[in-house]
Amino acid sequence: MRVIRVGTRKSQLARIQTDSVVATLKALYPGLQFEIIAMSTTGDKILDTALSKIGEKSLFTKELEHALERNEVDLVVHSLKDLPTVLPPGFTIGAICKRENPHDAVVFHPKFVGKTLETLPEKSVVGTSSLRRAAQLQRKFPHLEFRSIRGNLNTRLRKLDEQQEFSAIILATAGLQRMGWHNRVGQILHPEECMYAVGQGALGVEVRAKDQDILDLVGVLHDPETLLRCIAERAFLRHLEGGCSVPVAVHTAMKDGQLYLTGGVWSLDGSDSIQDTMQATIHVPAQHEDGPEDDPQLVGITARNIPRGPQLAAQNLGISLANLLLSKGAKNILDVARQLNDAH
């Protein structure tokens, strides 16, 4: 029986996400065996520094990519938002699974259960490790103070509950749901309060770009709507040259053959921002048989079983919106944010 080796981070959430992908693959390929190999990444080890300060794009992916490169694993399951928009040569995202709720959620300290960010007392401290969340929320809720909090989900919840430092923390709804912690979600933030990170809520399966066998194996996991939304989001971010160290956020929706993409950039304190929305006519395609063999990747993604036209249209939408924001002065906001972040 052929054994497919699957790489993952060691955290409980990463294991749950990987197990769900492996369960789907097992159901599709009962003749194959799957072995899960867990490892720690740089991002898991450096816990005393804000993510945006470490200055490394592949924080949660590098060690896993080394294992792929050395042929120790055949595929790796990631949170798509951890995967840079430009992957190292030789790798590709071979599948993007159906997205869960992409919005951010607020988890409150037990003594503030029933509150919202708006009704928290003046100068309450809210924990988030994300510049994107802090910039948007500072602008929206000036009476609150935002402070960095690191660690996996379990660690952050423990810090919230057991220490008196934080009144609330902001986490991805999808992660809380996958962990089965629906009861801790005190408030879900809507796009007008806080837009989400590129790819948030979706899982990406990274493989060796030339490993046709494995590409075919995982390609069936592609969810066409999630794929097109994430291509647009990733193209927007790549064209802006955004990353962990600048506040960039998006919101996408697919409705009646239209893909809507809203994107924004913020200064670190949220005082300055540029946002806009564009749309393109894109019909969500059914999967079809393999296209030409020489398909290049789009924003790091290979999806041969999804028609090429809609993928290119989604990519062009992302690039067009980035250009619109750049024409309105986005580069200046991002450059200043980058410099300030590096200086602190």
CA end-to-end span of the chain, whole Å? 54
Distance CA 187, CA 336 (A): 31
**Closest to 244 in 3D by CA, of 311, 301, 198:** 198
Torsion of the alpha carbons at 164, 165, 168 and 170, rounded to the nearest 10: -140
Q: What is the DSSP letter of 298?
A: B
- Catalytic residue of the set 82, 104, 211, 223: 82
All residues at 6 or more sequence positions from 323 whose CB lies less than 8 Å from its CB, including other chains: 239
Q: Residue 82 catalytic?
A: yes
Distance CA 310, CA 329 (A): 29
Residue 73 and residue 198 in contact, taking contact as beta carbons nearer than 8 Å: no
Distance CA 83, CA 204 (A): 8
H helical segments located in the chain:
12-28, 42-45, 51-54, 62-69, 131-140, 153-162, 173-178, 212-219, 224-240, 308-327, 330-343
Other Cβ atoms less than 10 A from the Cβ of 294: the count is 5
CA R_g for the chain: 20
H or E element, residue 7: strand 3-9
Distance CA 228, CA 234 (A): 10
DSSP secondary structure string, 62-112?
HHHHHHHHTTS-SEEEEEGGGS-SSPPTTEEEEEEPPP---SEEEEE-GGG
Q: Name the residues annotated as catalytic.
A: 82
